[in-house]
Amino acid sequence: MTRRGRILLKTLVWGACLVPLALLAWRAWTGDLTANPIDFVTDTLGRWGMRMLLASLALTPLRLVLGIGWPLILRRLLGLFAFFYVSLHFLVWVVLDHFFAWAQMGADIVKRPYITVGVSALALLVLLAATSTSGMVKRLGARAWRRLHRIVYVAAVLGVLHFMWLAKVGRIEPYVYAAILAVLLGVRLAGAVRAFRVRRRGTRAGVTSESSSDNRPPRRSIVARTEIMGGPDMAPDHRTKGADAPLGLPRPPALGAVPGGARTHPRNPGRPSRARFVQGR
Amino acid sequence: MLIRQAPRFRWSEVTDERLYLNRRELIAGAAALALFPGRAEAGPPPPVSQLAALPAAPNPRYRHADSPTKIESATTYNNFYEFGVEKEDPARLAGTLKPRPWQVVVEGHVAKPGTFDIEELLRLAPLEERVYALRCVEAWSMVIPWIGYPLSALLKRVAPTGQAKFVEFQTLLDPEQFPAQKKGVFGFSMSGLDWPYVEGLRLDEAMHPLALLTVGMYGKVLPNQNGAPVRVVVPWKYGFKSAKSIVRIRLVSEQPQTAWAKAQPREYGFYSNVHPSVDHPRWSQATERRIGEFRRRQTLMFNGYADQVASLYAGMDLKKNY
């Protein structure tokens, strides 16, 4: 994808992510927020937070299963929008629903399991959002960053639990989300298990760097992704994509810690340069 | 000063012309029914503005201090699982319910069991308007001007015997009229409830003057989405205790297996009295949102009817008997 293509795609998705909020604003303007507006707004925001979180989590499995990698450039964007909607959901609870009745909210957080897990999920999302910048990837090191960001699955599980617990009997939606999350998590686990097996086999066979690494240039999607995302997901790609990856080897160098001093992006020093790949080969 | 200004008008005074108009609608309706017999309208129920007016004298003894909830809210924000689990579902789908003709069977431990036609029920006792608070177990509330008469009037008519200890209410079972009663793919109830919907009261609760056999609201007959044509309203209990669209009333000696207590026994008990310090297992019942208001209110013991009903539960542990 060209740079212009990426910018266009991201702009479009950015706009699309704001549509639910715009619709809410429109319904508020036309007085169409049902007889219980606060509940309706809280519900709607929470739902969209959940949907966007699942969407952001679907991108890696999409690549693993179907080999479609380009949507990965949207992962951070979707993740941050999920955080945005979940934060609004929380703010509505604090401001409109309970009007800063801290004592009651505090008691609820401790006493009501669905609120406990909801607030925990939000706390995790805050952590992830705060470390979502390319600068943080660099500071933490790609490997640690990647590990940290696996927490997103914990947050998603807590989010689904939150929804299942609060929903009344007969609501199907939370179970749909639970099923989707289970599939996504299953794909990631299967990928991890497969990668682990392949790596072990590779180690036992004593494969060396030279004999296994292919010299094909990285696929375009990876280039695009690593450039935009700061490359945190690069290594899993190599590991899980099959036996042709450089397995059982020193991991591909982490971004920001590229041996030999990777050149940085000409206009954005925090951002790794595409030249790394040339050098990496 | 006790000089109370008389209301500008009474519902009973405005209704005549509407009733007159309603005759025409009835004739038109009968004609339509003749052309398309037995065909229930899928989709929204008739607009509230077109419902027949129902004359009833306001009963000042039962006039809640707060002003009534907007009729638009009371008729579009409903829990009526026979139409679906979402609160918009009843107002969207209740067109399938046909509140006429309608009969209610009253049976069980009674000396004079009987089947009452809805027209007969409407004349059984003088209709009165009572403004009650309605507290939903989901922590929201409304104030609604109901029309009806004490349930005790009907119960006395059938003369319960000494064996009658409880009263069981059954809602209509008809998947053609209640779409959500249709079985799901694997034969499971989609809503998690067993049909027909069953509710119940202890006999002394049912005989309490507050328990209202209800046939109308806001000066009109009951809208489909609010439990047409006849329901009960038990204002000191959570809303789900007030069974809607009733076809059968049984006087029994054992505590009835009620729908919600059967579906989620840990969350919904038989008594389900409004009680601010007995929480729902998942949420607090200490406060509520009055529909149409911004800030939460404190929930009152027995929904504000403590002085009238507390004696029914003297010596009972209401935390255990939730």
Which tokens is B73 given?
């809210």
Say if A164 is an interface residue toward chain B (CB within 8 Å).
no
Sign of torsion over alpha carbons A201, A206, A211, A217: positive
Which tokens is A131 given?
């470390």
The reported pLDDT for the residue numbered A212 is 42
Nearest to A194 by CA among A251, A249, A247, A231: A247
The reported pLDDT for the residue numbered A265 is 46
Contacts 24+ apart (CB under 8 A), B99-105: B99/B221, B99/B222, B99/B224, B99/B228, B99/B229, B99/B245, B100/B229, B102/B229, B102/B230, B102/B247, B103/B247, B104/B230, B104/B246, B104/B247, B104/B248, B104/B249, B105/B247, B105/B248, B105/B249
Rounded-to-integer distance, Cα B161 and Cα B251, Å: 9
The reported pLDDT for the residue numbered B209 is 97
Q: Which residue has the tokens 């200490």?
A: B286
Mean pLDDT rounded to a whole number for chain B: 89
Give residue A26's identity as a one-letter amino acid code. Answer: W
The reported pLDDT for the residue numbered B38 is 43
| B83: chain A residues, CB-CB within 8 Å | none
Measured between CB atoms, which of A38, A113, A170 is closest to B81? A170
User: Along chain B (322 residues), what's the average pLDDT of each consecutive run of 10 residues?
Assistant: 58 52 52 46 87 95 95 95 92 94 97 96 96 96 98 96 97 94 72 90 97 97 96 97 97 96 92 95 92 93 96 92 90
Average pLDDT over residues A71-97: 94
Nearest to A146 by CA among A66, A219, A218, A239: A239
Complex ipTM, two decimals?
A: 0.76
Alpha helices, DSSP H, located in B112-234: 118-123, 151-158, 203-207
Query: Who wins on pLDDT, B148 or A204?
Result: B148
Rounded-to-integer distance, Cα A108 and Cα B27, Å: 56
Helix and strand numbers (H, E) in chain B are 8, 13
The reported pLDDT for the residue numbered B11 is 55
Segment A8-44, tens digit of pLDDT: 999 999 999 999 999 999 999 998 899 999 999 999 9
* Domains of chain B: residue spans and CATH: 43-313 (3.90.420.10)
Rounded-to-integer distance, Cα B116 and Cα B73, Å: 31
The reported pLDDT for the residue numbered B24 is 52
Q: What is the largest CA-CA distance in chain A?
A: 69
The reported pLDDT for the residue numbered B135 is 97
Answer yes or no: is pLDDT of A261 > 50.
Answer: no
The reported pLDDT for the residue numbered B26 is 52
Task: Give me the residue spans of the domains in chain A.
Answer: 3-198
The reported pLDDT for the residue numbered A184 is 95
| B296: chain A residues, CB-CB within 8 Å | 97-99, 101
Distances (CA, A) of B107 to B33, B125, B229, B242, B256: 31, 19, 19, 19, 14
Q: Is the pTM of this model over 0.80?
A: no
| A114: chain B residues, CB-CB within 8 Å | 282
What is the bridge-based pairing of β-strands B220-221 and B212-217? Answer: antiparallel
CB contact at 8 A, B85 and B178: no
Which of B142, B226, B283, B299 is the best mutation test for A, with the most CBs of A within 10 A? B283
| B263: chain A residues, CB-CB within 8 Å | 169
Rounded-to-integer distance, Cα B114 and Cα B106, Å: 5
The Cα of B158 is separated from the nearest Cα of chain A by a number of Å equal to: 36
Chain A to chain B Cβ contacts (< 8 Å): 58
Which tokens is B142 given?
């409304």
For residue A31, give the DSSP letter.
T
User: How many C-beta atoms lie closer than 10 Å to residue A42's C-beta?
Assistant: 19
Distances (CA, A) of B132 to A131, B49, B54, B66: 54, 22, 18, 9
Mean pLDDT rounded to a whole number for chain A: 78
Residues in Cβ contact with A13 at an 8 Å cutoff, skipping those fewer than 6 apart: A74, A77, A78
The reported pLDDT for the residue numbered B2 is 58
Res. A204 pLDDT band, cuts 50 70 90: low
Lowest mean pLDDT among A77-81, A255-259, A267-271, B212-216: A255-259
Measured between CB atoms, which of B72, B140, B192 is closest to A170? B192
Rounded-to-integer distance, Cα B197 and Cα B173, Å: 8
Segment A246-259, tens digit of pLDDT: 333 344 444 444 44
Alpha helices, DSSP H, located in chain B: 11-35, 71-74, 89-93, 118-123, 151-158, 203-207, 259-263, 306-309
Answer yes or no: is pLDDT of A222 > 90.
Answer: no
Measured between CB atoms, which of A99, A108, A169 is closest to B284? A108
Measured between CB atoms, which of A34, A166, A168 is closest to B88? A34
For residue B198, give the DSSP letter.
E
User: How many C-beta atoms lie closer than 10 Å to residue B30's C-beta?
Assistant: 10
- Which residues 189-228 of A are in CB contact (within 8 Å) with B? none
